[in-house]
Amino acid sequence: MQKKTKLIVITGSIAAALLLFLVGLWYFVLRNNDTSSSDEVAYISSVAELAGINTGLQNRYSGIVEPQETLEIKRDEERTVREVLVQVGDKVEAGTSLFTYNTDEIELKLRQAELDLEQLTNEISTLNSQIAQLEKEKANVSADEKLSYTTQIQTGQNDVKRAEYNQKSKSAEIEQIKKSLENSTVTSEIAGVVKSISESGTNMYGESVPYMTILATGDYRIKGKINEQNVYMLSEGQPVTIRSRVDSEKIWTGMISLIDLENKVSGQTNNYAMSSSGSEDQSSSYPFYIELDTSADLILGQHVYIELAQEEEQKEGIWLYSGYFVFEDSETYVWVMDSKEKLEKRKVTLGDYDESLEKYQVLDGLKKDEYIAWPEERLKNGMNCVISDDAGGNGAIMEETLPAGYNPEGIPEEGGEAEADAQIIDSAEDMTEGVQ
């Protein structure tokens, strides 16, 4: 009976161990087949949007009004600030006093330097008197003693030259100290708004920042952002329309003056797609800037919509930027999302090439209602696909997705000066991330 019981226990243990092994193996296989991590996700964009084909929707990018110029004022580390004469949010003019340095220490240094100069002047006068006396005595001594007098006179003359050099140096030092006293009040060089004052000289991350920053008023520009997958949809010199968020009839015009590819900004994609592991997919974007034809009625820090001006003449068929194609062994491919929403490398047939736009016409192998990815070395067949920022770039949104009267983050109505002044500083660099 005992042997039978032991056999049952041993058999049960083996079965339990086998079950644990099978569960572990199943988990291992699932993990290794999971292609939903951020490294195994392909960001895709609409062919229709990339090709500029009229889909009945209007691409929009979020933007913010910012100054053309920013004045950063650094504090003299060897001096202490006595009084700050402005506050964050204050409007200043060119020449407005911003803060003053403590002059007590400088005044003491000036008095000491003036005493040193007076002492050097007296020393030179005394040395010259001694030399004159030695010259007089030398004329009445014997030839043997003249050599001694000559040596003393030359020594005195050298001392005078050294004292005169120190006198000039001390005079220059006094002039510098006086200039420091005159510059003890720091003034603004531009008209603008005080954006920040940093007593510590560092931000929350320990990075060095200016003591005071002034945002210029007057001429404004618009700052927008676009996703790295779609940055080539824009080009410098491209005309745009700026539209108010709260009054669609209020518009401004301008052109893209700069696409800053040197300063990539990391951030979440607008659709906040979640992988099976629970982490949000990440994407990067680039800032771009718009030079306005006129900035009348715009408010510093105001959030706006940016719309690309429509081409007068729509090219027939699908025309895509050349960077989306992979050229291998005399064949051309694109990375496309298939019917199972997985990535596939598909062969396409190209037609004409527009050198001015750097675009190829796609004759076969791709439809306007499909989605493609920007070629990267990490892409492979079977990867999961995530639509990148509503297929319109970081900050791009579709007009139909906005409810009537939509006013995110309590953005002030145009003309609301009191409310605008209250938000002017917090808004100046708080770019709206993604779809607002």
Task: Identify how many contiguous H helices and E strands the chain contains and give both numbers.
Answer: 5, 24
Q: Residue 304 — pLDDT band, cuts 50, 70, 90? A: very high
| Cα Rg, the chain, nearest whole Å | 37
Per-residue pLDDT, 337: 95
More confident residue, 371 or 54: 371
Q: Is the pLDDT of residue 320 over 80?
A: yes
Q: Are 103 and 181 in contact (CB under 8 A)?
A: yes
Q: What is the pLDDT of residues 413-426, one digit of tens each?
A: 343 333 333 343 34
The dotted CATH code for 37-68+218-428 is 2.40.30.170
CA-nearest of 374, 407, 238, 358 to 306 is 238
Q: What is the pLDDT of residues 3-27, one digit of tens each?
A: 555 555 455 556 555 655 655 555 4
More confident residue, 366 or 431: 366
Contacts for 347 with CB less than 8 Å, ≥ 6 apart: 331, 332, 333, 365
Segment (H or E) for 136 = helix 104-138
- If you average pLDDT over residues 28-44, what whole number do you get? 60
Q: Is the pLDDT of residue 343 over 90?
A: yes
Q: Are 312 and 72 in contact (CB under 8 A)?
A: no
* Prediction pTM value: 0.41
Per-residue pLDDT, 277: 34
In the block, which residue shows the tokens 């949010």?
89
Percent of the chain at pLDDT > 70 equals 73
Per-residue pLDDT, 398: 36
Q: Are 131 and 160 in contact (CB under 8 A)?
A: yes
Tell me how far the alpha carbon of residue 242 is from its chain's centroid. Answer: 22
- If you average pLDDT over residues 421-435, what whole number do you get? 38
Lowest mean pLDDT across 127-131, 250-254, 296-300, 365-369: 296-300
In the block, which residue shows the tokens 């002492």?
119
Q: Is the pLDDT of residue 31 over 50?
A: no
Q: b/e map of 37-53 (b: 16 or more CB within 10 Å)?
A: eeebbbbbbbbbbbbbb
Q: Are 64 and 431 in contact (CB under 8 A)?
A: yes
Handedness of CA 316, 321, 324, 327 (dihedral sign): positive
Q: Is the pLDDT of residue 299 over 60?
A: yes
Task: Report the chain's mean pLDDT, rounded to a whole number.
Answer: 76
For residue 148 the two structure tokens come to: 């001694």
- If you average pLDDT over residues 99-119, what whole number do you get? 89
Q: What is the pLDDT of residues 232-247, one digit of tens each?
A: 778 888 899 999 988 8
CA angle 390, 392, 393 (to 5 degrees): 100
Lowest mean pLDDT across 224-228, 306-310, 358-362, 366-370: 306-310
CA-nearest of 231, 218, 198 to 99 is 198
Per-residue pLDDT, 421: 38
**Could you tell me which residues are beta bridge partners of residue 197?**
212
Distance CA 347, CA 327 (A): 10
Per-residue pLDDT, 21: 60
Q: What is the pLDDT of residues 185-197, one digit of tens each?
A: 899 998 888 988 9
